[in-house]
């Protein structure tokens, strides 16, 4: 099955976002792998059960492991490293996700005005989510 | 039973094996945005206001049943995304589309079902 080969205008916003989606997706999986590896380094094999490990892999927030067997979450599991790590994940993931929503919605939109409204609204919602998410990371 | 005519979505896309993955990639992607979005706001509500509805949302989200569902969305999206990114960034792999499609499912099924088995086991034992 050969998909149609589209000629992409290198340097255009569409191409940049197309490339960003792929690279950020691969990057997010790298983040998950590092989260898991460092959880094992911190002794997660005996301290975390599987659901907790999956939560931590998905997003390494101290709230995700607070109900596990870790004696003191503030030692190793909650510090500036994980806050910056979490911020980078949220930045990549939200950009990836909201750009995905934009692409799905634009497949069903005909008029340029509707596209403009959708893009504007998504930008506002994205920035709002980003601010709240960063606040939650720094406050937890 | 084979469909008597090609399946056509409202978008006009007519795919073969790729169509299932295409639809699932969109559905799981939108699902993850919805889940993470509400989870962020629910966590904010819990943290700042101790909101009861926010706590209820997060209790649902951390239940084993919901985790089985979310794990499917995230893992499928990750696996399909890897295949897509590989094929898009290394066009030489386009020759092996069909093989990569089946390889993806062959790796996905145990990677999904094995943790789900343990999630069910601990989830049902804890009831």
Task: Work out the burial of residue A63: count CB atoms within 10 Å of its CB; fewer than 13 is exposed, 13-18 middle, 19 or more buried.
Answer: middle
CA dist., res. B53 & res. B63, Å (int): 16
Question: Going by C-beta distance under 8 Å and a sequence separation of 6 or more, which residues neighbour residue A57?
Answer: A32, A35, A36, A39
Of A32, A54, A135, the CB nearest to B71: A54
Cβ–Cβ gap B119/A29 under 8 Å: no
Residues of B in contact with A104 (CB under 8 A): 26, 29-30
Query: What size, in residues, is chain A?
Result: 140
Is the pTM for the entire model greater than 0.90? no
Q: What is the pLDDT of residues A9-18, one digit of tens each?
A: 666 888 889 9
Residue-level pLDDT at B1: 41
Per-residue pLDDT of chain A (140 residues), as tens digits, is: 455 555 556 668 888 899 999 999 999 999 999 999 999 999 889 999 898 999 999 999 988 888 888 888 888 898 999 999 999 999 999 999 999 999 999 999 989 999 999 999 999 999 999 999 999 999 87
ipTM for the whole complex: 0.86
Angle between helices A112-139 and B17-49 in degrees, nearest 10: 50
CA dist., res. A117 & res. B69, Å (int): 32
Q: Give how far Cα B110 sits from Cα of A23, A40, A79, B9, Å.
A: 26, 22, 34, 30
Cβ–Cβ gap B67/A54 under 8 Å: yes
CA dist., res. A60 & res. A39, Å (int): 9
Angle between helices B97-125 and B64-89 in degrees, nearest 10: 160
Of B33, B82, B85, the CB nearest to A101: B33
Which residue would you say has higher pLDDT here, A100 or B10?
A100
Closest CA to B40 of A90, A80, A68: A90
């Amino acid at each position: 099955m050969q998909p149609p080969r589209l000629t992409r205008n290198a340097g255009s916003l569409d191409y940049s976002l197309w490339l960003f989606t792929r690279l950020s997706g691969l990057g997010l999986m790298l983040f998950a792998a590092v989260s898991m590896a460092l959880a094992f380094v911190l002794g997660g094999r005996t301290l975390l059960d599987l659901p907790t490990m999956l939560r931590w892999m998905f997003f390494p927030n101290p709230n995700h492991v607070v109900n596990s067997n870790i004696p003191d979450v503030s030692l190793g599991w909650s510090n500036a490293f994980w806050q910056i790590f979490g911020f980078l994940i949220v930045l990549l993931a939200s950009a990836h996700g909201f750009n995905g929503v934009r692409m799905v919605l634009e497949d069903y939109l005909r008029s340029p005005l509707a596209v403009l409204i959708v893009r504007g609204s998504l930008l506002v919602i994205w920035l709002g989510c980003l601010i709240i998410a960063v606040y939650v990371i720094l406050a937890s | 039973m084979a469909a008597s005519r090609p399946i056509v979505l409202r978008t006009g896309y007519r795919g073969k094996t790729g169509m299932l993955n295409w639809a699932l990639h969109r559905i799981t992607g939108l699902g993850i945005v919805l889940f993470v979005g509400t989870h962020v706001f629910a966590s904010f509500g819990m943290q700042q206001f101790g909101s009861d509805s926010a706590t209820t949302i997060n209790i649902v989200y951390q239940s084993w049943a919901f985790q089985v569902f979310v794990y499917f969305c995230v893992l499928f999206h990750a696996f399909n995304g890897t295949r897509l990114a590989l094929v898009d960034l290394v066009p030489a792999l386009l020759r092996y589309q069909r093989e990569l499609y089946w390889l993806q499912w062959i790796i996905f099924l145990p990677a999904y079902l094995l943790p789900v088995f343990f999630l069910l086991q601990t989830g049902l034992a804890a009831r």
